Amino acid sequence: MNIKIIALGKIKEKYLKEGVDEFLKRLTPYASVEIIEIPAIEIKDEHLTDKVLKEEGEKILSHIKPQSYVITMEIQGKMLSSEDFAQKIAELTNDGVSEIIFVIGSSCGISPIVSNRANFKLSMSKMTFLHQFARLILVEQIYRAFKIIKGETYHK
């Protein structure tokens, strides 16, 4: 399975980068995981939010192939338990999906053009997280999903 995480912005905090790197390392026996960082555009005028989202969306879409299965991380998406998330990944694998792309938007959210391209919209929580935290939580949950799929133990 090939997994890509497209995220806007870089992780600045060392402890978060180390956490993401640790889970990427743990994922190597299960899947090929690549993180694509797209520079976030700073919004200096709130009236330009739609324009910025469109521009970010076009950059995101340039990294997505037509046959890729896209999961966007959205507040209004569907919330899944870790077990249901694992089942979703297993079903995609069984259906012959070879590439899953997760998209984490900017602080303004996800462009409507990217949201419309999504095959599935996933919400981590009703809470809002820093985007760097969302990336760490996502890679940990992907790792946990593969442990569940393989029937291997992982702390609860």
Q: Please provide residue 30's backbone torsions phi and psi, each rounded to the nearest 5 degrees.
A: -105, -35
Over the stretch 59-115, which tens digit does the pLDDT of each residue have? 999 999 999 999 999 989 999 999 999 999 999 999 999 999 999 988 778 999 999
Per domain, the residue ranges of the chain are 2-149
Considering only the top CATH level, what class is 2-149? alpha beta
For position 128, what pLDDT does the model report?
82
- The set of long-range contacts for 125-133, using a CB threshold of 8 Å and a minimum separation of 24, is 125/79, 126/75, 126/79, 128/75, 131/7, 131/8, 131/9, 131/104, 131/105, 131/106, 131/107, 132/9, 132/11, 132/12, 132/13, 132/16, 133/16
* Overall pTM > 0.85: yes
Q: Binning pLDDT at 50, 70 and 90, where does residue 8 land?
A: very high
Task: Return the structure tokens found at 107.
Answer: 């602080």
Q: Please determine, for residue 43, whether its predicted confidence score (pLDDT) is greater than 90.
A: no
For position 144, what pLDDT does the model report?
97
